[in-house]
């Protein structure tokens, strides 16, 4: 079965369910799957993001102006 056929079959199954608690669990599961990009990041990407957050929390950051000054040797006001 291809994905589109599986989706249709899944919808048919869900339409026949009368258990409110089960419907809520399915809804929560689908919402969590589509909104959690974190799971799709590599451990390296996750580590870099955590490192950046830690640096910001500790007030260790470089302004855009400073980056331009250092990168392009510009003297911006």
Q: Beta-carbon neighbour count of residue 26 at 10 Å?
A: 15
Same domain for 55 and 75, yes or no, is yes
Same domain for 45 and 31, yes or no, is no
Sort residue 64 into left (φ over 0), alpha (ψ -120 to 50) or beta.
alpha
Q: How many domains does the chain have?
A: 2
Same domain for 48 and 71, yes or no, is yes
**Domain around 47:** 40-77
pLDDT value, residue 35 = 62
- pLDDT tens digits, 40-53: 899 999 999 999 99
Helix (H, G, I), strand (E, B) or coil at 1: coil
- pLDDT tens digits, 3-41: 889 989 999 998 899 999 999 999 888 887 766 688 889
Q: How far apart are CA 4 and CA 11, in angstroms?
A: 11
Same domain for 2 and 27, yes or no, is yes
Q: How far apart are CA 54 and CA 37, in angstroms?
A: 20
């Amino acid at each position: 079965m291809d994905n589109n056929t599986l989706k249709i079959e899944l919808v048919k199954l869900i339409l026949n369910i009368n258990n409110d608690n089960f419907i809520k669990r399915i809804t929560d599961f689908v919402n969590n799957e589509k909104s959690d990009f974190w799971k799709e990041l590599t451990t390296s990407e996750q580590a870099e993001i955590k490192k950046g957050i830690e640096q910001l929390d500790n007030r260790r950051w470089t302004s855009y102006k400073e980056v331009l000054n250092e990168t392009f040797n510009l003297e911006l006001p």
